[in-house]
Chains A and B, each alone.
Chain A
Amino acid sequence: MTTSGIIEIILFTLLVVAMADPIGAGLTHVLEGKRTTLVERAFYRLAGVRPENEQDWVRYGASMLLFSLVGALSMYALERLQGLLPLNPQGFPAVPPTLALNTAVSFLTNTNWQAYSGESTMSYLTQMLALAVHNFLSAATGIALAVALIRGFSRQSSRTIGNFWVDMTRCTLYLLLPASFLIALFLIWQGVPQTLGAYVDATTLEGAKQTIAVGPVASQEAIKMLGTNGGGFFNANSAHPFENPTPLSNFVEMLCIFSLGAGLTGAFGRMVGDRRQGWAILGVMTVLFLAGLAVVYPVESASNPSFTGLNVDQSAGNMEGKEVRFGMADSALFTTATTDASCGAVNTMHDSLMPLSGMVPLINMMLGEIIFGGVGSGLYGMLLFAIIAVFVAGLMVGRTPEYIGKKIEAREVKMAMLAILILPFSMLGFTAIAAVSKAGLAGIANQGPHGFSEILYAYVSSTANNGSAFAGLSANTDFYNLTTAAAMFMGRFFFIVPMLAVAGSLAAKKAVPPSPGTFPTNGALFAALLTGVILIVGGLTFFPALAVGPIVEHLSMQAGTHF
């Protein structure tokens, strides 16, 4: 660890916390504001949307599901037809069916799991018109859903929770698009290409041929980070010098990962009329983020005991799968942030992390991507945990729990638990199937416990809609394409439906005025309780799986065993 590394981490954390309130103010303005533009009104007129007509939770959910279905079909069609379409200078053929399906579900669900490598599979048109579009739309959908849940708390005796079409459209037009435009220009300044020209042929200094893949990278990179999508233009993602050329581009990309997740806690506080409620949530997120980083940074900075006895100077840390310009601090920060949020972009190859620091991304994702989390999904996931936390507190004192002035009753708790239980069901269920099936085991690259970790990581990442990978796993097979697609779908939509049911049922309730017996949820005591509930409910389920993977690998490494 270095002094500059620690200063960078402190600076990063302070900036994230400082961004939460101003971005929250902007989000509130966009989503609750009434001012419109010509473009917005024209969109509604063409689409037949009446913005003043609000929807109940069932209709809101149905709109979101239909929109997603049409989006998935359009992506699938573009991938399958790319050979016939323009902007394909390398002449890539149609994406094979199961891979196209997997990729469509992946970008639809804001996962951006990549069983393909971009620069050798996808045409420029597919990257722009299929993948980048859904980077925007899946992020806007996530924010819309989070705001719907916030309205459940902020409204009283209301049948409706907003209009999905309006929330999604405003979020894209006024927030994601202008912000991405500025970030894209910044990235070009740092060296990220934006061109529609064909790959470049070069003759190297030693006279060899080198073909260099380029493309419309900057526009996609910006929304990839801001929307916590994480699907790289290139196979190596944000480790590729064209996606992330400098330590400064890296710093800004990391800030993008957390910006909207942090901002939504600010929007939450504002919309429910008590900003301290937002700060309490932000506090829990920050503590859990720093806890993960406190493992990854020192463990990666230490040497790999397997190399002792070889004449290697390991003072720079575990450099396998890392880039020199980033080193340990940038790599540890990025790894922790990208798995806290459901981003899944990587600037370091997670498969080559030391066993214990590879366990941190796994845990971050197992907790349900609520540490800042995916845009929108982080906040709504965290609020479901908050409901469980006040329920647990209510059980201790034998009193009906309340959260943000709403009585939390059997229906809300059941729905919250239903959503949360989808995660272990899919993560562990699919891992178990893959670990005993021939097709599952065929994908393993590393032997021993690390091979099991590769399988576990795949289903944890896809269910949590993260999208990063222990990328040694050969994931582009029918078995993995279909099973990870199913995991991504369940992790997104089986979580959202019960969550929207909670939103609808809360919105219909009257607010109860706080009484002396009300447990305050805007202070440190609640934050500590919430952290505990997250770690116990979210984490303990997975301990046996972690013991078989990274923990056994760590102990083997200490004992000098190789596989």
Chain B
Amino acid sequence: MLRELRPAFILIVLMSVLTGLIYPLAVLGVGRVIFPGRASGSLVQQDGKIIGSSLIGQAFTSDRYFHGRVSAITSTDAQNNATPDPYDATSSSGSNLGPTSQALLDRVAADVARMKVDNNAAVPVDLVTSSASGLDPDISPEAAAFQVGRVAKARGLDPAQVTGLVNRSVRGRVLGILGEPRVNVLALNRELDTIR
């Protein structure tokens, strides 16, 4: 038994150096050369300032912007109470509410009622359900179309023009098979800001 102690210790050390330092640093070195922007987090700059990451959703509350999905992320304050902190990108999380949860039902009902003011149609389900990560950067094309009226009104734009923008922003399935069609909310809103 004791004869096996030496390989146990030495191999842990050697393997740790190889797979825990050399390997990630090699990936870092090569990745930074081939895909510099993506290796550092697909950051988006505007006027020289970082305004977010194209892969990470951010909270939109103004009527002038398209809104993303419900983010269930909470943070704990000094008194250890959980307070809502949607799209906190240092604390990814879903709601973890089960399908028979009264809290889930109440939240959905409240959101549907709030959206009714702007659009009486049936609300696309992804707009009133919380994403798995709390950082979903996308909404469905239906969820974008649902918000066109509100955004056009707030900006004094022709709804047809905004609809055209939404349609151009839709990314289809990969190879026509994988995943679902989607609209990146940050990219769409940046396009929106370029319309004068």
Contact of B87 among A210, A330, A352 (CB under 8 A): A210
Interface flag for B160 (CB, 8 Å)? no
Please name 8 pairs of A and B residues whose Cβ atoms are closer than 8 Å in the assembled complex, sorted by A: A62-B4, A132-B23, A185-B27, A218-B39, A234-B133, A312-B123, A316-B124, A324-B180
In the complex, what residues of A have CB within 8 A of residue B50's CB? 200-203
Q: Which chain A residues border B92 with CB–CB below 8 Å?
A: 117, 119, 213, 234-236, 239-240
Contact of B93 among A172, A236, A320 (CB under 8 A): A236
A206 within 8 Å of B by Cβ? yes
* Given A218-B31, A324-B180; 19 other pairs, CB 8 A cutoff: A67-B7, A132-B20, A132-B24, A133-B20, A185-B34, A191-B38, A193-B41, A205-B51, A236-B133, A247-B179, A247-B180, A313-B125, A325-B138, A325-B179, A355-B100, A470-B96, A553-B98, A563-B100, A563-B102
Please tell me if B148 contacts chain A, counting CB pairs below 8 Å.
no
Q: Is the CB of A136 within 8 A of B8?
A: no
Cβ of A499 < 8 Å from any Cβ of B? no
Q: Which residues of B contact A206 (CB under 8 A)?
A: 58-62, 65
Asked if residues A311 and B112 are in contact (CB atoms below 8 Å), the reply is yes
B77 contacts the other chain (Cβ, under 8 Å)? Answer: no
Q: Contact between A202 and B27 (Cβ–Cβ < 8 Å)? A: no
> What distance in Å separates the Cβ of B148 from its nearest Cβ neighbour in chain A?
16
Contact yes or no, B95 A128, CB < 8 A:
no
1/0 per residue, CB under 8 A from A, across B12-32: the answer is 101110111101101110111
Tell me the complex Cα distance, A47–B4, Å. 9
From 309 to 338 in chain A, residues with beta carbon under 8 angstroms from any chain B beta carbon are: 310-327, 330
Q: Are A165 and B177 also in contact (CB < 8 A) when A206-B62, A240-B133, A561-B100 are? A: no
Q: What residues of chain A lie closer than 8 Å to B189, measured between beta carbons?
A: 205
The docked-state distance in angstroms from the alpha carbon of A563 to that of B103 is 8
Q: Chain A CB within 10 Å — which of B130, B132, B140 has the most?
A: B132
Is the CB–CB distance between A214 and B95 below 8 Å? no
Chain B, 153-182, contact with A by CB distance < 8 Å: what is the 0/1 string? Answer: 000000000000000000001111111101
Instruction: Report how many residues on chain A are interfacial, defined by Cβ distance under 8 Å.
Output: 129
Q: Is the CB of B99 within 8 A of A557?
A: yes
Chain B proximity of A109: nearest CB distance (Å)? 16
Tally of contact residues, B, Cβ under 8 A: 104
A-B contacts at CB below 8 angstroms, number:
390
Chain B residues positioned under 8 Å from A358 (CB to CB): 98
**In the assembled complex, A157 has its CB within 8 A of some CB on chain B:** no
> Could you tell me the distance in whole angstroms from the C-beta of B136 to the nearest C-beta in chain A?
5
The answer to whether A323 and B132 touch (CB under 8 A), given A129-B21, A242-B41, is yes
Distance, CA A93 to CA B51, complexed state (A): 29
Q: How far is the CA of A63 from the CA of B43 in the complex (A)?
A: 47
Known interface pairs A195-B39, A310-B109; A47-B52 also in contact (CB < 8 Å): no
Check B6 against A324 for contact (C-beta < 8 Å).
no
Report B's interface with A, CB cutoff 8 A: 1, 4-12, 14-16, 18-21, 23-24, 26-28, 30-32, 34-35, 38-43, 49-53, 55-62, 65, 69, 87-102, 104-105, 108-109, 112, 116, 120-126, 128-140, 142, 173-180, 182, 186, 189-190, 193
Chain A residues near B32: list those with CB within 8 A: 194-195
Q: Known interface pairs A212-B56, A562-B105. Does A74 touch B12 (Cβ–Cβ under 8 Å)? A: yes
Say yes or no: B19 contacts A349, CB within 8 Å.
no
Query: Are A66 and B4 in contact, CB atoms less than 8 angstroms apart?
Result: yes
Tell me the smallest distance from the CB of A514 to a CB of chain B, in Å: 39
**Alpha-carbon distance between A132 and B27 when the two chains are bound, in angstroms:** 13
Closest 5 CB pairs of A and B: A247-B179, A472-B96, A327-B180, A239-B132, A236-B92
B71 to chain A, nearest CB (A): 11
- Say whether A37 faces chain B, with CB atoms less than 8 Å apart: no
Residues 197-234 of chain A: 1 if any B CB is under 8 Å from the residue's CB, otherwise 0? 10111111110101111101011101100000000001
Q: Which of A218, A324, A348, A471 is the one whose CB lies under 8 Å from B182?
A: A324
In the complex, chain B residues whose CB is within 8 Å of the CB of A307: 105, 108, 125
Whole-angstrom CA separation of A200 from B10 in the bound complex: 38
Q: How far is the CA of A62 from the CA of B3 in the complex (A)?
A: 10
Q: Are the CB atoms of B102 and A321 closer together than 8 Å?
A: no
Query: Would B52 and A204 count as touching, CB distance under 8 A?
Result: yes
CA distance A201 to B88 in the complex (A): 11
Question: Is the beta-carbon distance between A193 and B38 smaller than 8 angstroms?
Answer: yes
Contacts of A194 in B (CB 8 A): 24, 27-28, 31-32, 39
Chain A residues at the B interface, C-beta cutoff of 8 Å: 4, 7-8, 11, 43, 46-49, 59, 62-63, 66-67, 69-71, 74, 117, 119-120, 128-130, 132-133, 136-137, 165, 168-169, 172, 177, 180-181, 184-185, 188-197, 199-206, 208, 210-214, 216, 218-220, 222-223, 234-236, 239-242, 245-248, 250-251, 303-304, 306-307, 310-327, 330, 346-349, 351-355, 358, 445-450, 453, 470-472, 553, 556-557, 561-563
Q: Roughly how many angstroms separate A505 CA and B173 CA in the complex, as a whole number?
A: 53
Return chain A residues, CB-CB under 8 Å to B38: 188-193
Cross-chain contact A352 with B8 (CB below 8 angstroms):
no
* Min C-beta distance of A532 to chain B, whole Å: 32
A191, A312, A318: the one within 8 Å of B42 (CB): A191
Task: Report the bound CA distance from A138 to B189 in whole Å.
Answer: 45
Residues of chain B contacted by A189 (CB below 8 angstroms):
34-35, 38
Q: Decide yes or no: A349 and B132 within 8 Å by CB, A250-B178, A325-B138, A450-B101 being known contacts.
A: yes
C-alpha spacing A190/B132, complex, angstroms: 19
How distant is the Cα of A329 from the Cα of B178 in the complex, in angstroms? Answer: 9
Contact between B97 and A8, CB atoms less than 8 A apart:
no
Of B20, B39, B139, which is within 8 A of A324 by CB?
A: B139
- Nearest to B55 among chain A residues (CB) is A241
Cα distance A449–B61 when bound, in Å?
36
Distance between Cα atoms of A165 and B8 in the complex (Å): 9
Q: Which residues of B contact A192 (CB under 8 A)?
A: 38
